[in-house]
Amino acid sequence: MKKQLSFEPKGGAQLLRIFQWAVLFVLVIGLFVAVKGIEAKARAVDWSEMQPSVADAEYVGVVEKCSECHEDYIKAFKKTVHGKVFLKNPQNNLQEQYCEACHGPLGKHVERPRKEEFRISLKKNGPLSQQQKNSVCLQCHEKGMQMHWRGSPHEMSDVACSDCHYLSERKSKKALLIHEDPKMACTQCHKQERAKLMRSNHMPLREGKIDCTTCHNAHGGPGPALLQTASINETCYTCHAEKRGPMLWEHPPARENCANCHDPHGTNFPKLLKAKPPHLCQSCHSAIFHVGGQYSGNDLPGGNASKRLLGKGCINCHSQVHGSNHPSGARFQR
């Protein structure tokens, strides 16, 4: 009994200490959030550079004012992520500006709505450059998937966020894309890849099981060809893990780059091969490599056709072209 009593105050002190730490923790988080708020504001764009006549315009700040003339737009916009988050649950002062977070200060526009120089249009063929329009979005989207946007092939080629995204209403299930089928955002420009999808052999893109963005990050990435991963092979291994190895006998072109032999977008040969096996293999291996007598096919009708050029060609015998783990698989026959 005595023992128990002597323990009680100690337990109380511990509780107090936990409480003190909890308070400190909340304060630190609070500070962090506040700093993030300021940071967001600091990245805001210079609207007067885009449109000098709005330099001295005030922010209107109330959506109801815009509703007087843009009722239909606002109805649709409220169903988008931006409409929901900015209006109901703004996370910083920029988001609180609602429409004006993207369209700049519109005090003069509400007075003189017909005057073009008092509004900032982000429309596709509007007066602003692609870079200027993108800077509006980059106020808030410079992290996460968009981290590598600056300097990416798309940015360098003057592609705009709004070439793939449509913000005014919800056209796609996810990510506010211009079309409900995410492929369409890409194939509008990449006609060659679109054509390849139509070839007889393809991964299940046409069937909608995977998308361009399963392998690519349209906003840029650390690796080649806007891939999600750091290398081509890493991309393939995410689903075809058995090809990763390590193998006892490596076939160097497979270790180096799966795209040496396959085109992931589609081909007219079996197994997404870039060419028929004999020709594919002979693009690196000498055609006169095998000793004439043994493999020449002289015994076939007509006499001259090499049997290596028939059917699956080389892989009739060299079936383990990705490498082999068999002790005597040095020639990839087993």
Pick out residues in 149-178 that bind ligand HEC (CB under 6 A).
Answer: 149, 153-154, 157, 159, 161-168, 174-177
DSSP states of 247-313 as a string?
A: -SB--HHHHH-GGGTB-TT-BSSGGGBSS-HHHHHHTTS-TT-S-HHHHS-TTSTTS---GGGSTTG
- 186 counts as binding ligand HEC under rule CB under 6 A: yes
Identified binder of ligand HEC from the candidate list 57, 77, 108, 267, rule CB under 6 A: 77
Identified binder of ligand HEC from the candidate list 226, 247, 267, 324, rule CB under 6 A: 226
Give the number of residues written for the chain. Answer: 334
- DSSP structure class, residue 233: H
Whether residue 252 has a cis bond before it, omega within 30° of 0 = no
Q: Which stretch binds ligand HEC (CB under 6 A): 1-9, 23-31, 182-190, 296-304?
A: 182-190
- 60 counts as binding ligand HEC under rule CB under 6 A: yes
Identified binder of ligand HEC from the candidate list 51, 118, 182, 221, rule CB under 6 A: 182
Residues 79-118 that bind ligand HEC (CB under 6 A): 81-82, 85-86, 94-95, 98-99, 101-103, 106, 109-110, 113-114
The least CB distance from residue 72 to ligand HEC, in Å, is: 9
Question: Of 197 and 268, which CB lies nearer to ligand HEC in the complex structure?
Answer: 197
Give the x/- contact pattern for ligand HEC in 1-30, rule: CB under 6 A. ------------------------------
Q: Which stretch binds ligand HEC (CB under 6 A): 5-13, 28-36, 47-55, 265-273?
A: 265-273
Three-state SS at 61:
coil
Say how many CA atoms lie within 13 Å of 121 toward its Cβ: 12
Question: Of 50 and 82, which CB lies nearer to ligand HEC in the complex structure?
Answer: 82
Provide the token pair at 85.
């988050």
- Buried b vs exposed e over 193-220: b needs ≥16 C-beta within 10 Å? bbebeeeeebbebeeeeeebbebbbbbb
Identified binder of ligand HEC from the candidate list 171, 197, 199, 334, rule CB under 6 A: 197
Question: Of 2 and 191, which CB lies nearer to ligand HEC in the complex structure?
Answer: 191
Provide the token pair at 300.
């076939």
Question: Of 11 and 301, which CB lies nearer to ligand HEC in the complex structure?
Answer: 301
Which secondary-structure segment (H or E) carries 96?
Answer: helix 93-96
- 273 counts as binding ligand HEC under rule CB under 6 A: yes
Question: Of 15 and 76, which CB lies nearer to ligand HEC in the complex structure?
Answer: 76
- DSSP structure class, residue 58: P
- 321 counts as binding ligand HEC under rule CB under 6 A: yes
What amino acid occupies position 226?
A: L
Residues 6 or more apart whose CB falls under 8 angstroms from that of 246 comprise none
Identified binder of ligand HEC from the candidate list 128, 147, 171, 259, rule CB under 6 A: 259
The least CB distance from residue 202 to ligand HEC, in Å, is: 8
Residue where the block lists tokens 């798309």:
154
Instruction: State residue 312 phi and psi, 5-degree precision.
Output: -85, 5
The least CB distance from residue 154 to ligand HEC, in Å, is: 5
Q: Which stretch binds ligand HEC (CB under 6 A): 3-11, 13-21, 22-30, 213-221?
A: 213-221
Three-state SS at 86:
helix
Identified binder of ligand HEC from the candidate list 48, 132, 139, 231, rule CB under 6 A: 139
- 274 counts as binding ligand HEC under rule CB under 6 A: no
Three-state SS at 219:
coil
Residues 280-299 that bind ligand HEC (CB under 6 A): 280-285, 289-290, 295
Max alpha carbon distance in the chain (Å)? Answer: 108
Write the burial class of residue 237 (CB in 10 Å: 0-12 exposed, 13-18 middle, 19+ buried). middle
